[in-house]
Each structure stands twice: as structure tokens, then as C-alpha cells.
Structure 1
Amino acid sequence: MKEKRYLVLEDGTVYEGYPFGANRASEGELVFNTSMTGVQEVITDLSYTDQIITFTYPLIGNTGMNIEDSESFNPQARGVVVREACTDPSNFRTTETLDAFLKRHDIPGISGIDTRSITKKLRSGGVMKAVITDETYHEDLIELLQNSTFRTDQVKRASTKTPYISTGPGPRVVLIDYGKKENIVRQLNSYGCDVTVVPHDTTADEIRQMRPDGVMLSNGPGDPANIPDQIKTVKALLGIPLFGICMGHQLLGLACGAKTYKMKFGHRGSNHPVKNLSTGKIEITSQNHGFSIDPDSLPGTGLEVTHRALNDDTVEGLRHTEYPAFSVQYHPEAGAGPHDPGYLFNEFIELMNIKEANHA
């Protein structure tokens, strides 16, 4: 008889499935991701810190895991929920199964779950707290979930603790790490940038002393309003070419006086259509965020909307009308995901070149 594992939700719903991955219980915010590929990149994205990821695609792990595609070396996801976990992956780059990967990173998983049911529940009721457990009695767990609160130090835990350099021959970029994806560094290097990655709490004065040509504001986990010191830092950096991605996008908005709000179930997947308002073109984008910029708070901030989500009309891009600063809510570095928005790195390079020419 197969062992059982349970997914218990704060609304009292209990799903019965089978264990894989780490052999332990885990609590987190239950979210869903609609990607069909890029599983390794999703699980290792530090924006999922303290979250349990439900994959909507029915078979997960069929291409296995490898040594090259991780977006972080110490993933902080609290759990993985799938309909079926592939035990016999087929890909020439595979080095281990999803089960072995999760065990190695101490992340519990549960399979045999009706992921469509979970997705419909979260879509209608919003994301909620949940626990993965092998315990068969759940009443106390439900009460615990209903009364529990999440930590607010996700960015501190996700960020690098010490600065480091990824060298290149071109413009000097300081990347503020709020929980960055490794592919952001790879993309900057591919454009020739000399990248210095710094911790989230690096001050504006410390960054200016590095004499960067531009500053990248990375993605990261949690509520951006929980890191007010970092908002002040971004505000103090206005004037240097800035490019914000995901949380970096939200921090730019907050630094200019806009407000953010928590979305009902967020955008998580690699197939989200976004309209570029200046060109009229539609981009298919990779996204992972549970907070968004409130468009009603933008008047008077100096920010204009450059991109909109076609599914729900949320703000997906901003540009400052006075300072050399812009941002997008989605992931242009395509790790994993479409390459449609790759031009944004070119725009960042151009901003830095213009700034350099003006000071020549």
C-alpha cells in the first residue's frame, strides 16, 4: 500500500496524494504556475520564497533536472504540488529526477493531486496558506493555518550576503539583489556588462561610490512595502540609469510615490500576453508576481505606463518622464520563458551610453 501525504488548506480543504521529495512537513502560501516547461527555473526562482508551488500542467519533471538551469543555488520554495511527477525523465542534459532534486534541496512534494481543482479554488478565492503533511489528523493544522502569519524578511533571506563581480568589458552595472535570478546576470554579461552584485541593504552612497553606469533592480520575494529602506535607496539613486524587473519594478514605483496592492492570485507562468503601448506589439512574457502597481496612484509621480497585461489590464511597465529610469513587471531575461522582451536590455544599454555621452 502506497504511503499517503496530504495538502491541507486554511479554508479546511484537504487533498490526499502521495509523497515525493523531502520527507518533512512544510507550510507556505499556496500559489499556482501555468508553465509547461522550465520547472527547474521555477522552483529555484527565489521569488517563490515561502510559497508552495502548484503546477497546472499534468506531468512535471519529464525532462529531468540538470546542473546548468537553476536560478539560485539554495531555493526557498516551501513545497511542490503536481498531478504526476515523472520518475523516468528523458533528456540528454538530465542529471537527476525531480524527486532527487527536491530531496537534495529539502523541499517536500505531493503528487496525485487534482491540480485543476486547486487552481480553480485559488482563482476564485485567492491565494491562501497551506501545509504539506504526512499527519492524518488535520483539525489542529487548519486552526494553526488560520491563525498563523508569514514572516516579512523574505528579501533579507533571499539576497546575497556579500558583494561579488561577474566581469565584462562594457558598461559597469550594479545589480541590487533582492532575490535575483541568475539569468539576469547572464543576460547582462551577454551584452558585455561588467556586473557587481550587491546585497539588498547596500546604501545609495555605497552604490554611487562604485561609479556605476547603471543600476539594475532585481526581482525578489514578498511584499515590496515591507522593505522601506530599499525604497528610499531607489529614490536616492534616481538620476543614474535604472532598470527594474519584477520587484525592482514595484520598488521604482514606490520610490516615485506610487502604491502597490496584493493581487488575488497573481501572475505566475511563461505565457502571459503583454501589450507594448508605444509600439502596439504584443509580447508573450514570463511572469511571477503577487503584487502590482496601482494605476490610480500614478498621477503626480512622474511615471507613465508603457506596458499593460492583456488578461487583466494590470500595469506591466513604467518609464519616468524626467529621469533615465524604466521597469517591467515581467521577466525579460527569459529564464525560462519567451525571448520577446529581450530588447529591454538593449534599451538599458542605450540609456547608459546616453548618460556616458552627456558626461563625456
Structure 2
Amino acid sequence: EVLEKVGLLLHIGVMLVFLVIVVNSKHLHIFTAPLNVMFSRRPDGLGAVPEMRSNGKVLDFEEADPDTDVFGRGKIEDTTWKGFLDFYTCTECGRCQSQCPAWNTDKPLSPKMLILDQRDHAFAIAPYLLASEEERANLPEDVLALAGKPLVGEEGVIHPDVLWSCTNCGACVEQCPVDIEHIDHIIDMRRYQVMIESNFPSEAGVMLKNLENKGNPWGVSESKRAEWIEELASRPVDPIEVLVIDEKVPDDLEYLFWVGCAGALEDRAKKTTKAVAELLHIAGVKFGVLGPMEACTGDPARRLGMEFLFNMLAQQNIETLNEAGVKKIVATCPHCFNTLANEYPQLGGMFEVVHHTQLLA
């Protein structure tokens, strides 16, 4: 009987000690993983980037106040509750890292360390995060010094090269066994760096300026978007006339062919555009294009973190498509496809979008 009681008490004691240790170790994920999976985005963390939110609501750029609204993530305390849950759920298995094309080509980005570095920083300044304004003045100097550390920077928690190595492919999100959404963390930090700090690679500045002024990343004139149409029409053998929509979509038109910036302006991609147009013509599909009225979907701006420019381009395109009466769109570019199908609905752009491979099949 004595042995039984001692054994039982030891068993309970070991379990209670383990419960204390586990919340201060990586094994915390035992408790948080089911919650993280439960609250992950459906059907998965890929697809559309979450809208910018501030103070619990979607940020309206026309009414935004720089003094009170939060633009992205500049400090660890700007992290969403789901972001904090991601930190403590990481099992440190490294599946995200092993699948990352940036890591596998010797770039500084490790999706695993991106999450763990933020987690460790959050733990280190936990007294500051949990304290009231009055209590913060009495905290130890080492905690206050860490609390003032920038989230992104040469001396920050995350090095800028880490942030800009990401291609947004989503392999890390796809591979994560506990549904951590790494892309959301990266996009949020990029938003703050681009819109508040104006801190981004110099090449990106040229691209953003071209998007704003010319509606494409290269800064080429809008009229150049129709050149591939003229090339098809002037072929000596089997010339093809492609309908350019000026105002309204004709009643017998089945699809709007969304060509995209590369498809209309880049020499190699134009070959694909002309081939798809020819195949649609052979298949008897009635289609038209916007030509010079088409502008970049805004995907490069959004993935870079320039949410304001994305909103501007997206609303412009949605207005153009609605005025023309477009209902069905076929796209060749995967970026355009994803943006039109998954991200435009956030701004009210509801269109039926199919990839050219689906339609041709």
C-alpha cells in the first residue's frame, strides 16, 4: 500500500513538473497545435493575402489615420493573435525550411527561423508586453532595451535580406504540419517597411513607380499592349483578328482573355499569348481582350507590401471590367489568375476566372 501511494504521488508530481517545463520549452506546441490548426485559414493559407487590418477592422485607406492606425507590423506587439499562436505552435521540425527555394539556393531566409526568432523575442519582452503603461517604467533595463529593438533592420529581430528573399511561393505554408502561415508574417512586415519606413530594394522602387504611372512593371506605354494583336492579324498565313473591347462586351462573347503585363509586353511571353489566342480561335471560343484598357492586376505591389497601390490598381481594373459587363475571364498568367480569382473578391470584384489550361482541356 505504501509503495502504491508513493508511486501515485511521484507520478502526479512528475506530471505537474512536466506541465511547468513544457510551457517554457518548444513542446508548448502539444497544447497550441490543435488550436492553430482549428483557426487556420480555409481551405489553406495559400491564395489571397489577408486584407490589412487595424484596430480590429479592415483598413480603409481613404479614412486611415497614421497616428492611430497600424500599417503592417513594425513592432512585435503589432502581431495578430493568430501570429502569436503561430509562434508558440512551431514544432521546429524544419519541413518549411527544407522546401524553401530561397533557403535551398543559399539565401538567408529560413521560414523556421523567421518564426522562431520572433517567438524568442516575444518571450524575452513578455514582461513589457503584459505590463501597463505605468508599470513599464519600472521594468529591468535589459527588457526595455529589447522592447525598443526594431522588428526588421540590420540590428533588428529579422534582417531585411531575410524579408526580401521570400518569393511568396507558399511551399512553407503547404508543408507545415501545424498550419503556420509564414507568408502572412512576411507580408505584414513588408507592408510596414514599404509604406511607413520606405525601406525596400532599389529595384522595387522603379517597379512601383512604373506601376503607378504606366500600369505595368516596365513603364512601357499602354499602346504597346495591342502590338501582339496586330502581329496576329498581319500574319501572311492564317491571320487572326482578335476583338478589342472598347466599351461593352458583345452578347455573343464567352470570355474576356486577360493577357497580363508579361503576356502583352515581354517578347518571350507574347509567343505564349499568341499561341493561346490561336488555340481559342481554333476551338471556336468567342473571346475578346481589353488591350490598352488593361492594367497590371497589382499583384507585384501587393506581394511587395505596397497595399495602397494594389488597392488603386485593383479598383481601377474592377471598374473597367464592371463597366464592360465582363462575367467570365480566362487567364494565362498564374499571378493574374490568383489575383483576379482570389484577391479581387476582397474589393468587390466577383468574376468567374478559369486558367487557359482548364478551358483548353
Larger strand share, 1 or 2: 1
Larger-gyration structure (1/2)? 2
Q: TM-score, normalised by structure 1?
A: 0.28
Q: TM-score, normalised by structure 2?
A: 0.28
Larger helix share, 1 or 2: 2
